[in-house]
Amino acid sequence: MKKNKTYENFPAWMVLLSLVFSLSIYTLGAYILSGLGLVFLILYIGYCIFIEFNLLRRSCVHCYYYGKVCGLGRGKLCSIFFKKGDPETFLKDDITWLSLLPDFMVFIFPLIGGIFLLIRDFSWVLLGLLFVLLILSMAGNALVRSTYACKYCKQKELGCPAEKLFGTEKK
């Protein structure tokens, strides 16, 4: 079995690609929910910030890439806001599909809001945006992570809870 090379610090283009996907999902979700009014837009943006903050606070502080350039662009950012955690905590963390539900809500909220808007006043443009949101959130995210970020991640070698859930290599 061939072992992939890992990055100590990821190349800027990989980080940029990952960030563009994440920000595209957030922006598209915000645009869709803005059709329901300013309150829904503000709540959604607040939720996205909460999800990112929570990821930094609960996972990134314990990761190998804390203070480094990780494939998802959060390692250095995390070190600005939080003290380094314990890598053993990261290794003991157990990710399940249920624990990922808050992350999935980032695209589920706009999806539900968009469906409501479609029922209220059908629009091909909105339907197209919902389709793009689904593609970016599911296939796009999976492609970026598996092909670029996770594939070259050193934390995966050390032990990664996400690798346990999503990994295709069985030990």
Q: How confident is the model at residue 170 (pLDDT cuts 50, 70, 90)?
A: very low
State the DSSP string of 65-94. TTTS--TTS-HHHHHHHS----HHHHHH--
Reported pTM: 0.85
Q: How confident is the model at residue 168 (pLDDT cuts 50, 70, 90)?
A: low
Q: Is it the case that residue 66 has pLDDT exceeding 60? A: yes
Task: Report CA-CA distances (Å) from 56 to 78, 116, 135, 151.
Answer: 6, 32, 25, 21
